[in-house]
Amino acid sequence: MNARGFTLAEIMVVLAIVGVLATLVAPALWSYARTAALQAAARQLATSINLGRQVAISRNTTVCVEDASPTNIRLTGFQYATSGVELGRGETTAAFLAEQRLEWLKSLALTNWTSATLEAGTTTEGYGSIADAALYRRVTTITDSPGGPCAANCKLVRVTVFYRPTTGQGQLDQERRLDVVTMLVARS
């Protein structure tokens, strides 16, 4: 550097170094931005589901949780998801579908313990038959008086949700499953 400023060669070297650094740092920043958006969307979805659950319990009714924000943050967060996150989303949706069925059965048990829907048996909802979840299959099994510490007026409920991965993490013919089990007890 002379007394009047920088030479053209010095400026070119600095710009080349900045360009190389930007090329190395940009993918990490892009990945960070996608991860942050996904985490924010997951937190928002979990908050919405928990709020819906609290409202359903307090009102003793079924509540449908829907993201009605104008920006639809949930989709924005998931649209950049990697294949591993897509699998996680499949598992999260399966867990939501199982919990949705259990909450519905619990609310039914509170209002009408003798309902035909709560009779022992197995109910299967095939692929394409669950609203907004065509890629999932749900099987609900109810067993009366399963024994153990609960001898009478109890129902063992198992909800199994089956789904196929939608990414390269698994072949489409590899069906995955998620089981949720709970016990319903009649109010005295």
Task: Kindly report, residue by residue over 97-155, the tens digit of the pLDDT.
Answer: 888 888 889 888 888 888 888 888 999 988 877 777 777 889 999 988 777 777 677 88
Three-state SS at 74: helix
Confidence of residue 13 (pLDDT cuts 50, 70, 90): very high
For position 182, what pLDDT does the model report? Answer: 84
Q: Are 178 and 159 in contact (CB under 8 A)?
A: no
Mean pLDDT within 153-178: 74
Q: Could you tell me the pTM of the whole model?
A: 0.50
* CA 108/CA 99 separation, integer angstroms: 14
Mean pLDDT within 24-39: 82
* CA 154/CA 183 separation, integer angstroms: 7
Residue 78 pLDDT > 50? no
Q: In this structure, how many other beta carbons lie within 10 angstroms of the beta carbon of residue 71? A: 8
Strand order in the sheet with 154-163: 121-125, 136-144, 154-163, 176-185
Mean pLDDT within 160-188: 73
For position 167, what pLDDT does the model report? Answer: 53
For position 85, what pLDDT does the model report? Answer: 45
Q: Are 56 and 106 in contact (CB under 8 A)?
A: no
* CA 45/CA 85 separation, integer angstroms: 15
CB burial string 16-35: b at 16+ within 10 A, e below = eeeeeeeeeeeeeeeeeebe
10 Å CB burial of residue 128 (0-12, 13-18, 19+) is exposed
Residue 73 pLDDT > 60? no
For position 188, what pLDDT does the model report? Answer: 64
CA-based nearest residue to 50, from 101, 1, 99, 88: 99
Mean pLDDT within 32-47: 78
Write down the residue that tokens 């007026």 correspond to: 153
* CA 11/CA 4 separation, integer angstroms: 14
Query: Using H for helix, E for strand and C for coil, what is the string for 46-59?
Result: HHHHHHHHHHHHHH
Residue type, 28: A
Residue 79 pLDDT > 50? no
